[in-house]
Structure 1
Amino acid sequence: MMKKLWRDGVSHLTPYVPGKPIEEVKRELGLDEVIRLASNENPMGPSPKALESMAAAVKDCWLYPEPSCLELREKLAERYELSAEKIIVGNGADHIITLIGNAYINPGDEVIYCHPTFSSYREITLLMGGKPIEIPTRNDFVTDLKGILHSITNKTKLIFICNPNNPTGTIVDTEELVSFLNQVPESVLVVLDEAYAEYISVGHYRTGIEFVKEGYPVISIRTFSKYFGLAGVRVGYAVAAEKYLKPLQAVKQTFSVNRIAMAGALAALDDINYGERMLLEVNKEKERLTEQLLSFGLDVTDSHANFLFVNMKRDTSELFTKLMHKGVLIRPCGPWKLDTYARITIGTIQQNDTLINALKEIQEATISIK
């Protein structure tokens, strides 16, 4: 009876299930220490300058924030050498995705993306009455640009490309992406979700912001959650031509980003050295962890993000439980219908060692049972 009151489409949604909270695991299992390598958080945390700035901002929390986030937009504009009018700031990248859906998707509109990928594209499409068109990734888990092109119809409104892709960590070839954008009809808007773009180390790689500057019908989504370590305060933004951001401005909540979050984001942008040191550490540990997992006989997909996509060659839901009892959380990929795969965040040296030792113990126990 109650469902008759619901908005059409809500019953088709699947609520996003984030990584299991550390506090919950400690409480359930009586553990003193739990490390989470499941949510792609920056284990080094934010810049000390960001922490200091956020602490100072608390005293003004009784004041509403400046609604247009002008100071942050201007600093980002300076960073990317474009105008502040080409930037909109929101409450995390997922909020930006919601704004895009609210602003563009009409009932019956088709929205194309590859699977597996970030589930928010499907959910916002269904919520707005649109039709999700899911294209399988290639066999190497790279987004199938040709498959997307072949799926475009006169009902297509948006194309979402997660690049690097979540949960696979793969990227599309930059020249193939240029060719793809040149073939997309003018009536279709391409959204490049680049939450992990700062981790791409391929030389001369072109990101969405460059395509925006060149006049392509593209919206680039970025976030402060990953590289900048501010996942807990929620700051994301989109970069696009003003005409593509105008409808987002119309549907955006007035005070969508709080004062403390903006203070942290502004300070994080200033601490370039901290970001560079963090990136070196992540890349070093990503290489080491990859080698260790390969030595266990596992398959690891080449990653351009701060996580690894690993074929564990066993039911990862069972493995997740065993690791959890050892105080280690990873992300099983069952929700993407990849039951033997896991997404593992690159942690600190100590965290990665804990994971490696836990996997060794589980593997040895399995062998001894056999």
Structure 2
Amino acid sequence: MSEDLWRDSVRNLDPYIPGQAAMEAEQQSKIKEVIRLATNENPHGPSQKAITSMQNAVLESHYYPDLTCLALRNKLGKLHGMDPENYVIANGADNIINLVIASYVNQGEEVVYCTPTFSEYNKNTLLVGGIPVEIPTTLDHKFDLEAILDAINETTKLVIICNPNNPTGTIVDEKELRTFLSRLPKHVIVVLDEAYGEFIAIPNYSTGVEYIQEGYPVITIRTFSKLFGLAGMRVGYAMAKGELIRPLQMVREPFACNRVAEAGAIASLEDVEYTEKVLAENRTEMVKMIKEFRSLGFSVEETHTNFLFIDMKQDTSKLAQKLCQKGLIIRPCAAWGFPTFARISIGSEVNNQKLIKALQEISSQTPNHV
């Protein structure tokens, strides 16, 4: 009876399914220590400066946070060379996605993106009565910009480009993206989801900051969950020119980012030495892991993130269960339509080697699967 009272659009939603929680895996496998390589977290955690700043902020947690996170917006503005008014801070990048779609998409209007990608684009579009238009990625798992252009019509409101893409780790060609932006109809806004943007190591590769400064109709989304190790704090932000960012400021709920989280985010931006160290270790472990996976007969995609998209030549849901019994969690990609693929986070050196050892043990027991 109560379901009859639900909002109609809610009936069409699929709940977000995250990577398996460590506590759940511990209960299932009866292993005390579980290594989580499924959710692309920073294996080193936040910087010590961020930890200290958050600890200090806890002492003032009886006060409401600043309504618009002005201190963090000022810090971001100095970092990117933009006005602080060009930013909206919220409760993680997924909250920002919700704000963007809620701000712009009317019932019956279309949101175009490629798939596989982050499921929240679909969910939030359906929630407001919009129409998700999902286009397959290219054979090399990149966003198909030409196909997106072909799909745009008079009812298209947003195009979302996840760059680097989740779960494939691929990026679009910079020249192709710039050409794409110049060919867009005036009524279409591009959303660049750059949750993993800090991991791109290509010199002088343009990101949303440059496109915004050049006047393109772009809203860029970033997060402190990945590189900065603040996934548990939930801090995300959008940046765009004033006329594009303004509706997000109007839709955003009050106090969408808490005091402790904002303090950690500000300190994280200041600790450049730490983030450079994390990036260097991520690249070093990435090279080692790609070599190890290929030695096991797996196909590994080129990545520009802190995870790998791997064809493991077998049912990865079953493989994930075997790894869970050994205390390791990976992300099978069957939900994205890739049953033999897995998305595996690049962890610490010790944890990465534990994963490789476990895979070698499983491979030796089931040689025909690899």
Match of 2:285 in 1: 285
With structure 2 as the length reference, what TM-score do the two structures score?
Answer: 0.99
Q: Which amino acid aligns with 2:200?
A: I
Matches of 1:255 and 1:277, distance apart in 2: 32
Give 1:28 shift. Answer: 2.5
Match of 1:145 in 2: 145
After TM superposition, the structure 1 stretch with the greater mean CA deviation from structure 2, 246-255 or 135-144, is 246-255
Any idea what the Cα deviations from partners look like across 1:28-47, whole Å, max 9, x if unmatched?
32211110000000001010
Which residues in structure 2 correspond to 1:1-370 (within 5 Å)? 1-367=1-367
Any idea what the Cα deviations from partners look like across 1:187-235, whole Å, max 9, x if unmatched?
0000000000000011221001110011100000000000100000000
After TM superposition, the structure 1 stretch with the greater mean CA deviation from structure 2, 24-33 or 142-151, is 24-33
After TM superposition, the structure 1 stretch with the greater mean CA deviation from structure 2, 15-24 or 114-123, is 15-24
Give 1:27 shift. Answer: 2.1
Give 1:292 shift. Answer: 0.4
Any idea what the Cα deviations from partners look like across 1:16-57, whole Å, max 9, x if unmatched?
111111112112322111100000000010100000100111
Matches of 1:265 and 1:71, distance apart in 2: 10
Matches of 1:6 and 1:238, distance apart in 2: 30
Give 1:8 shift. Answer: 1.6
Cα pair 1:159 1:191 within 8 Å, conserved: yes
Give 1:368 shift. Answer: 8.7
Give 1:101 shift. Answer: 1.2
Q: Which amino acid aligns with 1:69?
A: C
Task: Give the percent of matched residue pairs that are identical in Structure 1 and Structure 2.
Answer: 51
Give 1:274 shift. Answer: 0.3
With structure 1 as the length reference, what TM-score do the two structures score?
Answer: 0.99
Matches of 2:223 and 2:89, distance apart in 1: 9
Q: Which amino acid aligns with 1:356?
A: I
Cα pair 1:8 1:129 within 8 Å, conserved: no
Matches of 1:30 and 1:305, distance apart in 2: 32
Give 1:69 shift. Answer: 0.3
Give 1:316 shift. Answer: 0.6
Give 1:3 shift. Answer: 2.2
Matches of 2:276 and 2:85, distance apart in 1: 28
Structure 2 unaligned blocks of 5 or more: none
Give 1:369 shift. Answer: 10
Matches of 1:200 and 1:53, distance apart in 2: 28
Matches of 2:166 and 2:195, distance apart in 1: 9
Matches of 1:28 and 1:306, distance apart in 2: 27
Structure 1 unaligned blocks of 5 or more: none
CA 1:365–1:83 in structure 2 vs 1: closer, same or farther (change >3 Å)?
same
Matches of 2:307 and 2:208, distance apart in 1: 21
Matches of 2:81 and 2:107, distance apart in 1: 37
Matches of 1:321 and 1:123, distance apart in 2: 27
After TM superposition, the structure 1 stretch with the greater mean CA deviation from structure 2, 5-14 or 141-150, is 5-14
Any idea what the Cα deviations from partners look like across 1:59-90, whole Å, max 9, x if unmatched?
11111100110000000000001110111111
SS at the partner of 2:264?
A: helix
Matches of 2:214 and 2:133, distance apart in 1: 28
Matches of 1:41 and 1:329, distance apart in 2: 12
Give 1:186 shift. Answer: 1.2
Any idea what the Cα deviations from partners look like across 1:315-358, whole Å, max 9, x if unmatched?
01000000000000000001101100000000000010000000
Matches of 1:337 and 1:3, distance apart in 2: 30
Q: Which amino acid aligns with 1:73?
A: R
Cα pair 2:19 2:39 within 8 Å, conserved: yes
Runs of 4+, deviation exceeding 4 Å:
none
Number of equivalences: 370
